[in-house]
Structures are given as structure tokens and as C-alpha cells.
A and B are shown apart, each in its own frame.
Chain A
Amino acid sequence: MERGGFHGYRKLSVNNTTPSPPGLAANFLMAEGSMRPPEFNQPNKTSNGGEEECTVREQDRFMPIANVIRIMRRILPAHAKISDDSKETIQECVSEYISFITGEANERCQREQRKTITAEDVLWAMSKLGFDDYIEPLTLYLHRYRELEGERGVSCSAGSVSMTNGLVVKRPNGTMTEYGAYGPVPGIHMAQYHYRHQNGFVFSGNEPNSKMSGSSSGASGARVEVFPTQQHKY
């Protein structure tokens, strides 16, 4: 069985699957919450992604089973029961779905010589793989997400700048490590940030002035990451 995009994904026996403790899930949610502002201001979390990559654990290969069951019950009648093996099967199906779509999205990135998988790549991959019903709701979701998160960014522009500076100070080593892993990376690619798309499938190019600005400030990769903040102000 040849699966170009999945050769790094290994599947073990279902019997080894254990649901993650509620506490652990809560920790994930809390961690995610605390990381929210940096996440928005820095679209490419390269160093963080690199760090996480080394600590992938067995139970991290699936979504938390409690979350999965909660979602399932939303569409099932009240009297419905769910067998344990079907709960685990849905868990596996979700991971397979993520890997399936990610593989297709990543191949598109590579064809276009880009290194960052964007939300548009994910939507494009879904459409390519037949999940057409998903595109319109998700495109709307993405637009609304950007509107609301963008407003927060604008209203807290000073805070955003401050946090960005802090991030730059704290992460230079991580950033350089990332560069070392992939060789020299043009700064302009890091600055590719698509804000307020009108169409989920169309990439709006950066303004020429913006590109020049990005290039001129590209003394270091970390510095270029400040660039997206400027777009919040218009």
C-alpha cells in the first residue's frame, strides 16, 4: 500500500488506545488558551512546532475520546448507545481524516515551493478530496474567525506589539534552530500572511510596499515575524 503523504504516520493496535485523563484535556485547553495571543500574532509557530514534534506520545495520536463522544451525542437520539469499539473507531477515523487532508495540503505546498500549510491549503485539499459540503461552512467559519480575532488584535495593538517583541527576544535560538534544520529560508515567505480573504480559494498577494518593507526589515527571520502585526492596523 503506497501512501505518499502518510509514510510518517504509524498505526498501532486499537487495544492500546487509552482515553486521555480529563485533567490532561483541561491542561491542553488551558495551555491553548494561554497561547492564544502569540498564536495569532505569529502565524508560523516554527520553534514551538519543532519542540512539540519531539514529544509525540502514544495517546497524542488520537483526539480525546471524551470530546469525540460529546460531539457524537449531539447528533444521536437520546436513547442511542455507543459501543466502546465504535468510540475507538471514530477516534481513529478522525486522526486518519486529519492525516489524509494534511497530506494533500502539504503536497500542494511543496508543488508551490511553500513551507507553511495555511487554512486555504486545508480547504483546497478538502475540496480536492471530495469533501465539498465542508467548504462553504468552513470558509464562512474562517472569515468570521479572522474578523473577530482581527478586531481583538486591532483593539490591543499596543499589547500585541509588546508581546511580539517579547516573543522575538525569547525565541531567537528556536528560530535559528528551525533555519538550521531547513537551510536558509527567504524572509519573505515567513511574512506570507493572508488577512481577510474574500474567497477561501484565492490567495491575495501582499502589497508591493509591504513586500519591500518585509524585505528591508528582514535582518533576521525573527524580526520578519513582526510584519503581520502591521496589517492589523488598517
Chain B
Amino acid sequence: MDQQDHGQSGAMNYGTNPYQTNPMSTTAATVAGGAAQPGQLAFHQIHQQQQQQQLAQQLQAFWENQFKEIEKTTDFKNHSLPLARIKKIMKADEDVRMISAEAPVVFARACEMFILELTLRSWNHTEENKRRTLQKNDIAAAVTRTDIFDFLVDIVPREDLRDEVLGSIPRGTVPEAAAAGYPYGYLPAGTAPIGNPGMVMGNPGGAYPPNPYMGQPMWQQQAPDQPDQEN
């Protein structure tokens, strides 16, 4: 498993080379600009804060819209994602024996919501960097900023993570205003997001403590996360 992961990481690194150059240059320029001109840094921080508030509002609207869409849904035969494929992915785990017919149906909708949420959070990072092309490091940024996406840290390459860590340092100094929580969220049934120790990934688990996701905007918790990232 480790060897496979290493190989995959290598492949990812190679694949992302064309896209990493610009973000790194941008980051370097930002850091240099910040060091040279405090006003410039302050402006950048304000921009970041506005972007985060915009994301919180977009997410709240997103979940409200999801509920309304489902209320209007009448066609349950055509799914955005093929059920047979979902079932095969579920059964890739040899421990999985039998699957109720309703499980892939629920998964089809859940994956749709997952793609939409991850894309929205990733695009937020794209806009922060004033680009119009969603890149892999935008997904990496969304993953690092969202606790419930910790299980994806193996999917995004480490170089992108490092870039995000560098880029997120200035934000740690800005206190974030708390926005309203999501009206449709529940408190988690378990005390921790990841209930089974066996599911915890070694390094990422240490780097990202399993904070309970209380339905609050993820960016609100960036400040506490900074020390862990800096370690």
C-alpha cells in the first residue's frame, strides 16, 4: 500500500508540474509583496476574508437549494451517476457482502452533493488567486480547509498541500467573523468525525486533528488549524 501510494504521488507530481509553476510564483510574489508593503498584505487579507464570507453564504444557499430540489424531484429512475458503477466501487471492498438496492440510489445523490460541495469550495480558492481555471491545487486547498475532507489528503499531491500551507500563513493572523450556522445541519451522532481508529491515516491524522464538525463554516476553524499546519 505504501509503495503504491508513493508511486501514485510521484505520478501526480509529474502530472501537476505544468500547473504548479504559476501558483508557486503567485505565492512567492504574494509573500514578497507582503513583506515589502504592509498595506498590500492588509489588502490581501481583506480580500481573503471577503472570499471566505462569500463561500459561507454560497454554501448555506447550496444546502437550502439541495433540500428544495429534492422536494421537487419526481424522477427517481434517471440518476446523475450510474448505479451499477457505484455498486462496483462499493464491492471493491472485499468485506462488503450484500448491498440493498436503495443504497446506490442514496449514494448517487450523495456523490452529486459531494461533487458540488467540493467544486464550490475549490472554485473559491481559484477566485482567491484571481484565476478562471479550476486546478488541482484548488482542490488541495479545499481539502486542507475542510475537516470532513481529511480522508482525501492522499488524493491530492503533497506539493499542492505545501503550497496551500504557505498560502494560508497570512490568514492565520486575521480573526474571522463567525457566520450563521447551517440551518439544515445536525449535530453528529458520534463524538468524533472518524469513529474507527483503523480508518485514521497516520500523518494526515496527526496533522489534522479530528475536530467535530458542528455545522459551522469550515473557514471559521482555520485559525486553530494554523499551529498544526506549521508543525
Which residues of A does B touch, CB under 8 Å? 1-15, 25, 28-29, 31-33, 36, 39-40, 42-46, 49, 52-53, 56, 60-61, 63-64, 67-68, 70-72, 74-77, 79-83, 85-86, 89-90, 92-107, 110, 115-119, 121-124, 126-138, 140-142, 144-146, 148-149, 182, 201
Q: A93-B155, A127-B188, A130-B148 given as contacts; is B84 within 8 A of A52 (CB)?
A: yes
Which of chain B's residues have a CB closer than 8 A to the CB of A129?
148, 151, 193-195
A71 vs B122: C-alpha distance when bound (angstroms): 14
Fill in one digit per residue for B172-214: 1 if any A CB lies within 8 Å of its CB, else 0: 0000000000101111111001111011111000000000110
Which of chain A's residues have a CB closer than 8 A to the CB of B126?
80
Whether A140 contacts B93 by the Cβ 8 Å rule is no
Partner of B133, one of A81, A144, A145: A81
Whether B80 contacts A103 by the Cβ 8 Å rule is no
Whether A138 contacts B11 by the Cβ 8 Å rule is no
Whether A63 contacts B102 by the Cβ 8 Å rule is no
A3 vs B199: C-alpha distance when bound (angstroms): 5
- Whether, in the assembled complex, B66 has its beta carbon less than 8 Å from a beta carbon of chain A, the answer is yes
A195 vs B182: C-alpha distance when bound (angstroms): 30
Which of chain A's residues have a CB closer than 8 A to the CB of B73?
141, 144
Whether B12 contacts A14 by the Cβ 8 Å rule is yes
B230, chain A: closest CB distance, angstroms: 23
- Whether, in the assembled complex, B139 has its beta carbon less than 8 Å from a beta carbon of chain A, the answer is yes
Whether A5 contacts B188 by the Cβ 8 Å rule is no
A134 vs B78: C-alpha distance when bound (angstroms): 20
Whether A89 contacts B139 by the Cβ 8 Å rule is yes
Q: What is the number of contacts between chain A and chain B, taking CB atoms within 8 Å?
A: 312
Whether B100 contacts A43 by the Cβ 8 Å rule is yes
Binds A, one of B31-39, B48-56, B111-119, B221-229: B111-119
Which of chain A's residues have a CB closer than 8 A to the CB of B4?
10-12
Which of chain A's residues have a CB closer than 8 A to the CB of B212?
130
B interface: dominant SS: helix
B 108-155 contacts with A by CB, 8 A? 109-120, 122-123, 126, 132-136, 138-139, 147-148, 151-152, 154-155
Partner of A142, one of B86, B106, B196, B200: B106
A48, chain B: closest CB distance, angstroms: 9
Whether A86 contacts B148 by the Cβ 8 Å rule is no
Q: A14-B12, A98-B111, A142-B102 given as contacts; is B151 within 8 A of A86 (CB)?
A: no
A223, chain B: closest CB distance, angstroms: 17
B96, chain A: closest CB distance, angstroms: 5
Closest 4 CB pairs of A and B: A4-B198, A130-B193, A8-B94, A119-B102
Whether A52 contacts B215 by the Cβ 8 Å rule is no
Whether B102 contacts A70 by the Cβ 8 Å rule is no
Which of chain B's residues have a CB closer than 8 A to the CB of A137?
63, 66-67, 70, 109, 113, 184
Whether A15 contacts B11 by the Cβ 8 Å rule is yes
Which residues of B does A touch, CB under 8 Å? 1-2, 4-5, 7-8, 11-12, 15-16, 19, 62-63, 66-67, 70-71, 73-74, 76-103, 105-107, 109-120, 122-123, 126, 132-136, 138-139, 147-148, 151-152, 154-156, 182, 184-190, 193-196, 198-202, 212-213, 215
Whether B89 contacts A11 by the Cβ 8 Å rule is no
A112 vs B92: C-alpha distance when bound (angstroms): 22
A86, chain B: closest CB distance, angstroms: 5
Whether A9 contacts B199 by the Cβ 8 Å rule is no
28 contacts between A and B (CB under 8 A): A5-B199, A8-B95, A14-B8, A14-B15, A15-B15, A32-B84, A42-B101, A52-B88, A53-B91, A56-B88, A56-B91, A71-B116, A71-B119, A75-B120, A80-B133, A83-B19, A90-B118, A98-B90, A99-B93, A117-B96, A129-B151, A130-B213, A133-B63, A133-B185, A137-B109, A140-B67, A144-B76, A182-B97
Whether A127 contacts B186 by the Cβ 8 Å rule is yes
B71, B102, B139: most-surrounded residue (chain A CB, <10 A): B102
Whether A126 contacts B110 by the Cβ 8 Å rule is yes
B58, chain A: closest CB distance, angstroms: 9
Whether B100 contacts A145 by the Cβ 8 Å rule is no
